[in-house]
Amino acid sequence: MDEHNIENHPDLMDPDWRRHAEKEAWTGLRRQRRRARRRRWLTISAAVVIVVAAAGFYLWKQGTRPEEIAGNTPSVPAATTTAPAPTDLPDSAPVDLTRPFEKTPAQNWPEGIAGLTIPAPAKVGSFSAKQVGDAQEQVKHAVEVAQFDKDVLEGHHPDGYIGLFAPDQRADLQAHVRHYAIYLAEGYHLLPVQPRMTGKMTVRPGETGELMVHVSYVVAYAFDPGSRVVEGPADLDPFVRVDTDYIVRSGSGWAPGDRGLWTGAGGSFFTSVACRTAESEDLAPAFSDPNYDAPSVSREPGEFDPDKPLPTKGNCKE
């Protein structure tokens, strides 16, 4: 073998080795970036302390205390802005635990299920506008329970969610509920702020007696880091992107046990989660994973934008 023809080395041709090497390289790069950011932050902080101390000494020498100057200056209320939100999730940025979604794509999203845009009910196929409106409310409530209900999130009790579906769907849903409902990992809790959401619902006709209700949305959660050090929103704000169909079946063409709400085809994608819990499908923040990977080389727009295609490759896969 030509020793200079390194790209054909057997190790480099092995896909398993290449995936491992790529993961290790990104992990090392993230650590280097974090150390560099920490050094820069300490340098900036030291400079600010020196400037403030010098200003205070100057005012003391002049016989005027800083608070007297401040007291003579009319206070100006902080401006309320709706600045455009970032399109990506920063690894490094100041975090205000009372406003944990600042400087993230969820910065301006509504709280909870209010972020799901639902069209005005209108006749679809054989379904009247009222039937469509009722179906939309069924799906909206199912999404709300799956993503925000504390019994589901914290208690891991999905009965309230499963009970929303047709009787003949419930046994299968019980076995696969983790594909639809969010469970928080044991030992980790959300901050006392509402999760944020953006998304939309669309309706189309299905087979005879079926109404297809599609939802595409993203939910951002904010975990309480406690005494842990976090370096930016990416450490505590996981994002869950969901694209899925719900099916509402009605009419005499269906057996009584089939009538009602059913789950359909769909998928999900998780950003800034702890990879160590991927197998159990529990949702945990990145700060809980000491070996948290950096994201892939290029972000996929669909991570934070439900109008874009659902990403298919996660950053927890080797």
Query: Is the pLDDT higher at 292 or at 264?
Result: 264
Contact status, residue 193 vs residue 233, Cβ threshold 8 Å: no
Quick check: 288 pLDDT over 90? Answer: no
Q: Report pTM.
A: 0.73
Mean pLDDT for 232-246 is 95
Instruction: Please report, in angstroms and rounded to a whole number, the separation of the first and last CA atoms in the chain.
Output: 29
Q: What is the pLDDT of residue 40?
A: 36
CA distance 100 to 105: 11
pLDDT score of 17 more than 50? no
- Residues 275 and 291: beta-carbon distance below 8 Å: yes
Return the H-helix or E-strand segment holding 69: helix 66-71
67: pLDDT confidence band, cut at 50, 70 and 90?
Answer: very low
> Residue 241's closest CA among 212, 213, 265, 272?
272
Q: For residue 39, which phi and psi values (nearest 5 degrees)? A: -65, -40
Q: Which residues pair with 214 in a beta bridge?
A: 202, 245
Lowest mean pLDDT among 59-63, 64-68, 79-83, 96-100: 64-68
* DSSP 8-state class, residue 77: P
Q: Which of 57-61, 234-238, 268-272, 273-277 has the lowest mean pLDDT?
A: 57-61
β-pairing verdict for 196-205 and 210-220 = antiparallel
